[in-house]
Amino acid sequence: MTKVLVLNGPNLGRLGRRQPEVYGRTTHAELAHLCVDWGKKLGLEVEVRQTNHEGELLDWLNAAADDNIPVVLNAAAWTHYSYALFDACAQLTAPLVEVHISEPKQRPEEFRHASVVEPHAVATIAGQGIDGYRQALELLARG
């Protein structure tokens, strides 16, 4: 069974409470459960993690690079400005799928329109809500 990491960045631990009109009402715990279930159905062993600490996310990405583990990444705000994240994504050896619950390029804040992850991703899935994670896992399962 292929292992996949689903990594979520800052404030995503507050899903269900933070701006539900933008991010929906699904909690992070519910999202994690869904991802694990979707993964099982696709023959994937999914591990879901969330952090508000950039260094921790970088450590997870470095380990994924070392172990050739595919990654589904919602780097949240770090997506738009973290060159350390850019470098960590550049060294991944297995596929990376970028996910965003909302569509950042259609949000009014100009800074959200750029992604340092996108150049390293095999695909970006945005604006599909929580279902974007299922779509990302399906993409990885197809190889």
Closest CA to 11 of 58, 52, 72: 52
Q: Find out whether 115 is annotated in a ligand binding site.
A: no
Q: Find out whether 120 is annotated in a ligand binding site.
A: no
In sequence order, what DSSP letters do the residues of 92-116 get, joined into one string?
--S-EEEEESS-GGGSS-GGGG--S
Q: Find out whether 59 is annotated in a ligand binding site.
A: no
Q: Find out whether 11 is annotated in a ligand binding site.
A: no
Let me know if 100 is a catalytic residue.
Answer: yes
Beta-bridge mates of residue 72: 6, 97
Catalytic, out of 28, 100, 120, 133 = 100
Catalytic, out of 23, 28, 120, 133 = 23
Spatial separation of the C-alpha atoms in residues 131 and 115, rounded to whole Å: 20
Q: Find out whether 101 is annotated in a ligand binding site.
A: yes
Let me know if 81 is a catalytic residue.
Answer: no
Active site residues: 23, 100
Annotated binding-site ranges for substrate: 74, 80, 87, 101-102, 112
Annotated binding-site ranges: 74, 80, 87, 101-102, 112
